[in-house]
Chains A and B, each alone.
Chain A
């Protein structure tokens, strides 16, 4: 491997890490929104009963 390949590999690790974490947060946000929606639906169903 030449110098530029090592440089490329190091910067790729950092960007994959950053974007991977952002993606993880995004997925968590979507999951929590789904759970919130389900809870709200359940609550309104209980109130209707």
Chain B
């Protein structure tokens, strides 16, 4: 990274840390305890924030996949691949924190109801995306296959969002407007903190993927030079 980029990254990092500290203060101290669910309801603030970031990550995969197929520029593939990895990470967190909330709320860890099942399908789809991208031998073909999958897989995201509107589910509806102002503020700051965290991790992941590709290209160049010498 150039020094200007490093400076910008460090400013964003400090901003992200401040936001995360604020989010933790709001979640554990400022936000009032919910009457029916008690302290378990506080899981909601980070659970929703992490779910939002997962959707954002998959949206970035979708846009970058379209741009890759259109422009055939490898940078879009690198961004899509890095974002897909983060999307899977955040969806994993959603799939684990959800049941931790469900156990005291519903009395069971997991129910095969539309929202939970659709989220699990979403997770498997992007695992498939990462496997296709990693195990296709020819680089350009892998990027092409993954881009198509990145576009098709995004269909799952609105399905996950709409499940609670289309079917009867156990999952609570998104009644964000019903939140009292202190709870709303806590949720918004948590979402902002996780969005900055996603951007920071994405920048790091992109630079490492670029470095990995450069090393592979260099190694291939060296191997070719050695073959010519022989």
Contact = CB atoms under 8 A, between A and B. Distances in A.
Interface of A: 1, 3-4, 6-7, 9-11, 13-14, 17-18, 21-22, 25, 28-29, 32, 35-36, 39, 42-43, 46
Contact of A13 (B97, B205, B211): B97
A6 B39 CA distance: 9
B222 A4 contact: no
Nearest to B43: A10
B93 interface: yes
Interface residues of B, number: 30
Interface stretch (B73-81, B99-107, B141-149, B171-179): B99-107
B215 interface: yes
Contacts of B46: 10-11, 14
A3 B43 CA distance: 10
A4 B39 contact: yes
Nearest to B46: A14
A39 B219 contact: yes
B38 interface: yes
B104 A6 contact: yes
Given A25-B201, A25-B205, A6 B215 contact: no
B113 interface: no
Contacts of B86: 21
> Interface majority SS on A: helix, strand, loop or mixed?
helix
Given A3-B40, A10-B97, A14-B93, A39 B215 contact: yes
Contacts of A32: 208, 211-212, 215
B208 A7 contact: no
Given A25-B204, A25-B205, A25-B208, A10 B218 contact: no
B187 interface: no
Given A10-B101, A32-B208, A39-B218, 8 more contacts: A1-B103, A3-B40, A6-B101, A7-B39, A21-B86, A28-B212, A35-B219, A46-B222
Given A13-B96, A13-B97, A25-B204, A6 B43 contact: yes
Nearest to B103: A6
B89 interface: yes
A7 B97 contact: no
Contact of A7 (B42, B205, B215, B222): B42
A8 to B, nearest CB: 10
Name, among B43, B103, B197, the residue most crowded by chain A CB atoms within 10 Å (CB to CB): B43
